[in-house]
């Protein structure tokens, strides 16, 4: 397919989106990520029954926590797609990157760089 998607995305592979814990998302922000999106299988299609549903809840929890400390919760997003949907992955990756670019850099990273 040779699809293009923004090169500034770092992919972290997990066996199931249900493996992604709240602390993993928060640590990514703590270490300077500008945005985190969790990609899971389509709802109802999880091989482990409810992994993608748990991931969605954790994404919502991460959004709440970020909002409560003054960081935009929109920096965390959950997408559902099947593993054969390459074009959709490229589309989501582009869309998410554009939205994060519009929000600007992670304020934690900015403050850290300023202090250094």
- Summarize as ranges the residues that interact with other proteins (CB under 8 A): 21-23, 26-27, 29-30, 65, 68-71, 107-108, 111-112, 114-115
Residue 34: other Cβ atoms inside 10 A: 19
Distance of CA 3 to the CA centre of its chain: 20
As measured in angstroms, the least distance from the Cβ of 97 to other proteins is 22
Q: Which is nearer to other proteins, 10 or 114 (CB)?
A: 114
As measured in angstroms, the least distance from the Cβ of 64 to other proteins is 9
Q: Which is nearer to other proteins, 29 or 96 (CB)?
A: 29
As measured in angstroms, the least distance from the Cβ of 81 to other proteins is 27
Maximum Cα–Cα distance for the chain, whole Å? 47
Going from the C-alpha of 113 to that of each of 63, 66, 104, 109, the distances in angstroms are: 24, 20, 15, 6
Q: Which is nearer to other proteins, 9 or 111 (CB)?
A: 111
**CB-CB contact of 100 with 35 (8 Å):** yes
Q: Which helix (H) or strand (E) holds 56?
A: helix 51-68
Q: Which is nearer to other proteins, 26 or 103 (CB)?
A: 26
């Amino acid at each position: 397919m040779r699809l293009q998607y923004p090169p500034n995305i770092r992919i972290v592979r997990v066996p199931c989106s249900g493996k992604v814990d709240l602390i993993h998302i928060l640590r990514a922000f703590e270490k300077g990520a500008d945005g985190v999106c969790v990609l899971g299988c389509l709802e109802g299609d999880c091989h482990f029954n409810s992994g993608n549903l748990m991931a969605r809840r954790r994404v919502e929890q991460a959004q709440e926590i970020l909002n409560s400390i003054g960081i935009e919760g929109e920096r965390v997003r959950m997408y559902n797609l099947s593993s054969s949907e390459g074009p959709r992955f490229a589309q989501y990756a582009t869309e998410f990157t554009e939205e994060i670019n519009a929000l600007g850099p992670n304020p934690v990273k900015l403050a850290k760089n300023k202090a250094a």
